[in-house]
Amino acid sequence: MEILLANLDPETDPVPAGWTAVGYILPVGRTVLAYAPDRQPHAVVPGEPPEALDPAEVNAALVDAVDRAGLRVWPGGWVHALPLAFGANRRTWQKDRISKKGVHPVALRTLACLADSDDAEAWGWLATALGRYADEAGTSPHVDDRLHEARDAADRVLRLLLTVRQGRTFENRGEGLDGGER
């Protein structure tokens, strides 16, 4: 079995309500890999009843799928960056652990969405920076609140960057922020 983690469109690749679609099973056309709420993996083909899959077989195939998607988002290596971005234990993402236990479907879907972007590497930088900010600078005891703090901080930094990048601040002058040459 080969799996391609992908950001699926629910209009073209529908799955039962409450299920999590994470990608495709290859090479069988457009067979969707989706997880039922109990985390049981299924093959879903439009117009047919979902077919339960062997979790051990799916988990074994996830090792390569996660590696391909992770390298698309973090080409320099995802083993440290992905757990930092997702706020997960590094052990969760080790290949032997994936092959034995799998990965939570929401985490797979999130990785698939990041990897399926045309700007996957840039999204990886953002995900890692925001995750790190939430973990190291966030002050709330709740992870959701720390992520909101990271979002607010990113918004403030973006506004600062907009002020320095708008207009003619450095346009055609060949100088850096300190007035010296670049």
DSSP track, 36-73: -TT--EEEE-TTS--EE--HHHHHHHHHHHHHHHHHHH
Judge contact between 23 and 8, C-beta under 8 A.
Answer: yes
pTM attached to this predicted model: 0.84
Question: CA torsion, points 22, 23, 25, 28, in degrees to nearest 10?
Answer: 140
Q: Report residue 26 as tokens.
A: 């290859």
Q: Is 66 left (phi over 0), alpha (psi -120 to 50) or beta?
A: alpha
Q: Is the CB of residue 138 less than 8 Å from the CB of residue 145? A: yes
136 or 72, greater pLDDT? 72
pLDDT level of residue 89 (50, 70, 90 thresholds): confident
Q: Do the beta carbons of residue 38 and residue 95 sit within 8 Å? A: no
Pairing of strands 20-26, 51-52: unpaired
Q: What is the C-alpha to C-alpha distance for residues 154 and 152, in angstroms, rounded to an integer?
A: 5
User: Per-residue pLDDT tens for 97-133?
Assistant: 999 999 999 999 999 999 999 999 999 999 999 999 9
- What pLDDT, on the 0 to 100 scale, is given for residue 177? 56
Chain centroid to CA 27:
23
The two three-digit tokens of residue 132, written as one number:
């790190």
Assess whether pLDDT exceeds 90 at residue 69: yes
Q: Which residues contact 23 (CB under 8 A, 6 or more apart)?
A: 3, 4, 5, 6, 8, 32, 33, 65, 108, 112
Average pLDDT over the chain, rounded to whole?
A: 90
